[in-house]
Structures are given as C-alpha cells and as structure tokens.
Amino acid sequence: MAMDKLERSLKGDDIYCTIIAYVVRGAGATTARIVPDVFGASRVLPFELRDEAWPTSIDMTEFKTGGVPADFDSKLVSALKSVQQGGPTLCWFMFDGAFDAAGIGSEWHRLNCYAVHAPSLKEPALALSEADRRSERWARIWEQLSAQLYGEYPNLRTVDG
C-alpha cells in the first residue's frame, strides 16, 4: 500500500512518474554530479540550479517513468551510492515542486524528501512512506545533514527564504 501512495505522489495528475534527484556541488567544483539512470527512464533531463548568491550549485536530474520501477528502494540506494563514490556531497530525492518551498533544514523539505545520502551517513537513508517521513528518525537525519551543510556553507542560510 505504501508504494501506491508513493506512486500517486510521484505521478500527481500526470501520466509519468517524475523522480527527481538533487546533488549539491561545492564552490569551485566545475563538473556536474551525474545521477545514473537506474530507473529505466523514458526521459532523463539534467539541470543546473545556480544563483549568484549561492555558495553552491545544485545539479538536478529529472527521470520520467511510466510508473514506480520494480525494486524502487534498491534502485534509489544504488543511485545514491553511485553519487557518493564521486566524492563528498549531499544527494537527495524529492517530490516534484517541493524544492523551492523551503530550505534544506525545514520541516517542509524533510517531509517532501524520500531518500538521502551524504558522507556522514554509513548507508543511504530512505523514507518511502509518509509515516517514515514524519518519524523522529527522519527528522534527526535531516537535522544532522542540514547542520553539516549550513556549517560548510553558512551563506546558504541567508538565501533560504
């Protein structure tokens, strides 16, 4: 049942599931962080999110699929681990339209993210159900990761909104 709810969140009113990955690229890094298409997407659209006020860039990759792929959780873990092999970064998967709603450490952001990995985590963390995303465990993970991100890039707080 949780996958049905997840698929409704990924599809909305569209015929596609939209799986979106975000990867922080630190100041001075010139190469985009590539998230591999482990989902068998019919379309893969990479974007760079950048603002002159940001001390980082964010590489966004949008994967379009007809539905939630089989073994979705293991495919998320595979994609997150692959990004981490490229060097320290923060990578997360989030529902479409949620990125601009609030900063990395906000409750809104945490409730709209369903997978994350960072150098400080031993393994990728997934929260595929709403109950998981509302859990104390998930809140602690996002507290830790946002403290690390804003500790490394304190100027991000001023552009958070």
**pTM, rounded to two decimals:** 0.84
- Listed by start position, the domains of the chain span 2-153
pLDDT value for 62: 92
What b-and-e string marks burial along 21-59, b requiring 16 or more CB atoms within 10 Å of the CB? Answer: bbbbbeeeeeeebebeebbebeeeeeeeeeeeebebbbb
Rg of the Cα trace of the chain? 15
pLDDT value for 101: 47
pLDDT value for 140: 94
CA separation for the pair 90, 88 (Å, rounded): 7
Which parts of the chain register pLDDT below 50?
Answer: 1, 101, 160-161
